[in-house]
Structure 1
Amino acid sequence: MNTVSRDTKIVVVGAGFAGLAAAASLVQAGFQNVKILEAKERVGGRVCTMKPFTENIIELGANWIHGQEGNPLYQLAKEQDLLVEAIAASKMMCLPHSVTPRDYFFMEGGKQLSTNTVDRVCSLFSKLTSKAFESELEDKHRVLSLGDYLDVSFAESPLATSEDESKIFEWCKRSECTDEAASLYEVSASQIGYYIALEGGFFNSLGPGGYQAILDILLKALPSGTILRNTEVKSIQWDSKGDEGKEENHPVRVICENDQIIETDHVIVTVSLGVLKQKARTMFEPALPKSKLDAIERLGFGTVDKIFLYFSERFWPEDCAGIQLVWDKGPEDKAIYSRQDEEDAWKETWFKKICGFDTVARHPTVLCGWITGREALHMETLQDSEIGGTCVRLLRSFTGWSVPDVSQVLISRWGHDPHVQGSYTFVPHCVNVKEHEALAAPLPSFSQVPESKPLQVLFAGEATHVNFYTTTHGAYLSGVREAQRLINHYSH
Structure 2
Amino acid sequence: MERQYRIIIIGAGIAGLSCAKYLLENDIHDFLIVEAQDRIGGRCQTIPLLEQHVELGVELLHGDQTNNPLYQLAEENHLLDIDDRGSDRDDCYHDEDAESIDEDVVDEVRKVYDEILEKKVPTYPYENYPDLSLGEFIWAEFDQYMTFKKSILEKEELDERQKVINWLHKQHPCLNMIGCNRLTDVSVQGWNSLECLPKDDEHHDATVYLQNGFLNFLHKVFFRQMDEDQIQFNTVVQCISVHEDEQYVDIEVLRHNQQVETYRVKHVVCTQSVGCLKQNMQELFVPPLPQSKRMCIQKLGFGTINKIYLVYSQPFWDADFDGFHFLWDINGSNNEWELESLSDTPFDNQWCKSITGFYVHHRLANVLTTQISGEAAKFIETIPDDLLAVALQELLGHFYPDNPSPLPEQLIRSQWFNDPFTRGSHTFIKLGSSIHDIKQLAMPWPNKPAKPLVLFAGEGTHDRFYGTAHGAYLTGVREAQRLVQLYKT
Q: Distance in 2 between matches of 1:435 and 1:38?
A: 26
Give the corresponding residue for 2:486.
Answer: 489
1:65-464 equivalences in 2 (<5 Å): 65-68=61-64, 69-84=66-81, 88-91=82-85, 102-131=90-119, 134-136=122-124, 143-158=131-146, 161=150, 162-176=158-172, 177-182=175-180, 183-200=182-199, 204-216=207-219, 217-240=221-244, 242-243=245-246, 251-258=248-255, 259-329=260-330, 347-400=348-401, 401-446=403-448, 454-464=451-461
How high is the TM-score relative to the length of structure 2? 0.88
- Matched to 1:106, the amino acid is H
CA distance change for structure 1 residues 222 and 204 in 2, over 3 Å: closer, same or farther? farther
Q: Distance in 2 between matches of 1:437 and 1:458?
A: 12
Q: Deviations over 1:318-347 (max 9, x none)?
A: 2221111001217xx9x98xxxxxxxx994
Q: Distance in 1 between matches of 2:385 and 2:488?
A: 53
CA distance change for structure 1 residues 433 and 114 in 2, over 3 Å: closer, same or farther? same
CA distance change for structure 1 residues 485 and 71 in 2, over 3 Å: closer, same or farther? same
Preserved CA contact (<8 Å) 1:39 1:231: yes
Q: Deviations over 1:130-167 (max 9, x none)?
A: 13663456999963211111111101014764011011
Q: Distance in 2 between matches of 1:270 and 1:454?
A: 19
The Cα shift of 1:443 comes to: 1.1
Which deviates the most, 321-330 or 419-428? 321-330
Q: Deviations over 1:252-294 (max 9, x none)?
A: 1100123111111110000111100001111011110111101
CA distance change for structure 1 residues 434 and 290 in 2, over 3 Å: closer, same or farther? same
Give the corresponding residue for 1:96.
Answer: none
The Cα shift of 1:419 comes to: 0.4
The Cα shift of 1:103 comes to: 2.1
Give the corresponding residue for 1:47.
Answer: 44
Give the corresponding residue for 1:342.
Answer: none
- Matched to 2:305, the amino acid is V
Give the corresponding residue for 2:340.
Answer: none
Q: Distance in 2 between matches of 1:156 and 1:326?
A: 21
Q: Deviations over 1:81-138 (max 9, x none)?
A: 0013xxx53236xxxxxx8763211111111111110000111111111136634569
Q: Distance in 1 between matches of 2:159 and 2:297?
A: 41
Which deviates the most, 109-118 or 11-20? 109-118
Secondary structure in 1 aligned to 2:196?
coil
Preserved CA contact (<8 Å) 1:133 1:194: no
Secondary structure in 1 aligned to 2:20?
helix
Structure 1 residues without counterparts, runs of 5 or longer:
1-6, 93-98, 337-344, 448-452
- Matched to 1:327, the amino acid is W
**What percent identity do the matched residue pairs reach?**
32
The Cα shift of 1:427 comes to: 0.5
CA distance change for structure 1 residues 21 and 402 in 2, over 3 Å: closer, same or farther? same
- Matched to 2:314, the amino acid is E
Preserved CA contact (<8 Å) 1:83 1:206: yes
Preserved CA contact (<8 Å) 2:355 2:370: yes
Q: Distance in 2 between matches of 1:433 and 1:356?
A: 33
Preserved CA contact (<8 Å) 1:141 1:189: no
Q: Distance in 2 between matches of 1:65 and 1:427?
A: 22
CA distance change for structure 1 residues 274 and 322 in 2, over 3 Å: closer, same or farther? same
Q: Distance in 1 between matches of 2:404 and 2:375?
A: 31
CA distance change for structure 1 residues 19 and 295 in 2, over 3 Å: closer, same or farther? same
Preserved CA contact (<8 Å) 2:177 2:426: no
Preserved CA contact (<8 Å) 1:73 1:214: no
CA distance change for structure 1 residues 203 and 484 in 2, over 3 Å: closer, same or farther? farther
The Cα shift of 1:222 comes to: 1.3
The Cα shift of 1:190 comes to: 2.0
- Matched to 1:150, the amino acid is I
Which deviates the most, 158-167 or 404-413? 158-167
Preserved CA contact (<8 Å) 1:64 1:202: no
Preserved CA contact (<8 Å) 1:309 1:366: yes
Preserved CA contact (<8 Å) 2:210 2:217: no
- Matched to 1:34, the amino acid is F
Q: Deviations over 1:400-439 (max 9, x none)?
A: 2121111000111001000000011011113211111100
CA distance change for structure 1 residues 139 and 233 in 2, over 3 Å: closer, same or farther? closer
Give the corresponding residue for 1:63.
Answer: 59
Preserved CA contact (<8 Å) 2:135 2:186: yes
Q: Distance in 2 between matches of 1:180 and 1:119?
A: 23
Secondary structure in 1 aligned to 2:422?
coil
Which deviates the most, 164-173 or 137-146? 137-146
Q: CA RMSD in A?
A: 2.4
Secondary structure in 2 aligned to 1:364?
coil
Which deviates the most, 187-196 or 101-110? 101-110
Corresponding pairs, count: 453
Give the corresponding residue for 1:478.
Answer: 475
Preserved CA contact (<8 Å) 2:83 2:362: no
Secondary structure in 2 aligned to 1:57?
strand
Q: Distance in 2 between matches of 1:483 and 1:465?
A: 14
Structure 2 residues without counterparts, runs of 5 or longer:
151-157, 336-345
The Cα shift of 1:67 comes to: 1.2
